[in-house]
Structures are given as C-alpha cells and as structure tokens.
A = this chain, B = another copy of it.
Amino acid sequence: MHPAQVEQVRRFNRLVTQRVGALDESYLRRGRPLGEARLLFETGAKGADLRGLRDKLGLDSGYLSRLLRSLQSQGLIQVRQQRQDGRRRRVRLTAKGRAELAAYDELSDALARSVLAPLGQAERGRLLAAMAEVERLLEAGAIEIAVAAPASADARWCLERYFTELAERFETGFDPAKSNPAADDDLTPPAGCFVIARLNGRPIGCGALKLRTKRIGEVKRMWTAPEARGRGVARRVLERLETEARRLGLKTLRLETNRALKEAQALYRKQGYKEVAPFNDEPYAHHWFEKRL
C-alpha cells in the first residue's frame, strides 16, 4: 500500500473527526450528559428493551440502570415490565421524551444543513456524491466472505435472485433446467464449495466451486446483489474460491459466462483468467475462461 494513500486516509480521518465528531459532542447534547443523550436517541420513538440497549451501547447493567433512573426523573421515559418475560423491561418515551427526541433530530438536521450551506448547487451535488461513495466503500470493510451450505436459506435466497437476474439479462431468457446442472452435493465439501458474501449479516453475493477432476475445478454461481455492486464483492468471493481451490489441491480453474455479463468478463480478465476454446456445451455460454493457480 502506497504511503501517500495511507496519508490521504489519515488526513480524511483527522478532518472528519474534527469537523463532524467535535460538533457531535458539543452541539448535539442539549446540556445533557452524553450518556443520557445517546440513550434517549437509541431508545427512539418505538422504545426498546434494556437488554438490546445494553448490547448496542455496550453499557454496564448498573450504569444503564442509573441512566434510566435519571431520564425517568426528568419525565422523559417510562420503564415497564415486559409481558412475556417478567425479567426483561422495556423503555418507552413519554410525550415529553418524544418532544426532546424531535429536538435532537432538528439539531442534527441543522448541523447537516450547516455543512451544505456555504456551497453552491453544483458543489453540493459533488459533496453528496462523494459522501455516498465514501460510505459505500467504507462499508466494504464490513463485508464478510464465508463458506456455507448451498441448501442454507441464505444460499437459496442468493441463487433465486441470481437466476431471476440471468432470466432478465440473457437475450434468450434463462431456464436452470436447460443449463448444465450443479447439484447441492457437487457444491458441498469435498466435492466443491459454496461461498456467501454478507454485509451486516445479510447476504449480498455468492459464488461456487465444483470439482471436475482432481486437478481441475469450475467456478459457478458468481453473483453480486445490484445494491452492493462497486465494492469489490465479486472479486473477494472469487479470491476466496481460489483459496479454497488451492486448499483442495486444484491446479486449474475454469468458468464460462454469457456475453450479456460484461462486468463479469472484465473481472475474470483482471483476475488473470484467459479466454480459451469451449470446454463444455453449456447452452447459455459465449465465453470460456481458464486460470492456472
């Protein structure tokens, strides 16, 4: 990683903690200790149960208890036993509490507006676009790639969306029955494997590996959810499949793809796959690729 790149990230961190963080701490508390303000905010209009609040804010139970007592004595919240489980308790905002929350919301809005205020229309658009981009790419850090059973609910969900998308994008439509099959068993160790990418626990992409011989494997079912594209999900899934392939002792990976899937082809080429002559009769394929591991 280039030092100048690291320096840019550090500069960004510095600026942003100064400009955003500092304001957050001083402006956004309305004369209340930060702990209470955060608690009020996290409780929200819908209320919450204590257990959830403790986990989310990482508070000691004793500390939370005292914070709640304080907010209660200010008339902002009510704490009540839950019906189903008498040990648990729920917090709910009173009318006064909701008014207070609305005030926080308004402050937060004002803060956001103050960022946009000195800018002209064009610059605002650029700032917002850049913020969205930073957001998307920072989120990539929270993406996890994991091996999963192809019969699991998450895998099914991915495959369903994958097939739906193929049907929409292929000129000829797509019928899984006519395509070369890849049964669950073929995608389960030791015959192969299935990999899922998750963002905050929700599946956003997948990929699979199927052994053809002891030395040759096939990559299949590569898919990224449209809302998660542009974050390198597919690349990371593919890299993970290659790692698994090496672990299984494979020497060569093959894959085929449809001409409608331009991004996929670009990815394969960038990752070192070379186009080769057709090695199977997959009816939906137009391009065949191969990579020596």
Contact bitstring A102-136, B, C-beta under 8 A = 1, else 0? 00000011011111111110011011101111110
A232 to B126: give the CA distance in the assembly, Å: 12
The reply on A16 being an interface residue by CB < 8 A is yes
The reply on A89 being an interface residue by CB < 8 A is no
Contact bitstring A170-184, B, C-beta under 8 A = 1, else 0? 000000000000000
Q: What are the residues of chain B within 8 A of A54 when measuring CB–CB?
A: none
A9 to B128: give the CA distance in the assembly, Å: 7
Q: How many residues of A contact B (CB 8 A)?
A: 51
A128 touches B8 (CB 8 A): yes
The reply on A140 being an interface residue by CB < 8 A is yes
Smallest CB gap from A231: residue in B: B123
The reply on A17 being an interface residue by CB < 8 A is yes
Given contact pairs A16-B20, A17-B21, A24-B17, A9 touches B115 in the complex (Cβ within 8 A)? yes
Chain B nearest Cβ from A241, distance in angstroms: 16
Chain B nearest Cβ from A135, distance in angstroms: 5
Q: Which residues of A from 185 to 200 have beta carbons under 8 Å from B?
A: none
The reply on A84 being an interface residue by CB < 8 A is no
Smallest CB gap from A142: residue in B: B19
B230 touches A123 (CB 8 A): yes
Q: What are the residues of chain B within 8 A of A119 when measuring CB–CB?
A: 137, 140, 231-232
B131 touches A134 (CB 8 A): yes
Given contacts A114-B141, A120-B232, 5 further A-B contacts (CB under 8 A): A6-B113, A9-B128, A11-B131, A17-B17, A130-B130
A6 to B138: give the CA distance in the assembly, Å: 20
The reply on A152 being an interface residue by CB < 8 A is no
A120 touches B20 (CB 8 A): no
Other-chain contact of A15, B21, B133, B135 (Cβ < 8 Å): B135
The reply on A280 being an interface residue by CB < 8 A is no
Q: What are the residues of chain B within 8 A of A74 when measuring CB–CB?
A: none
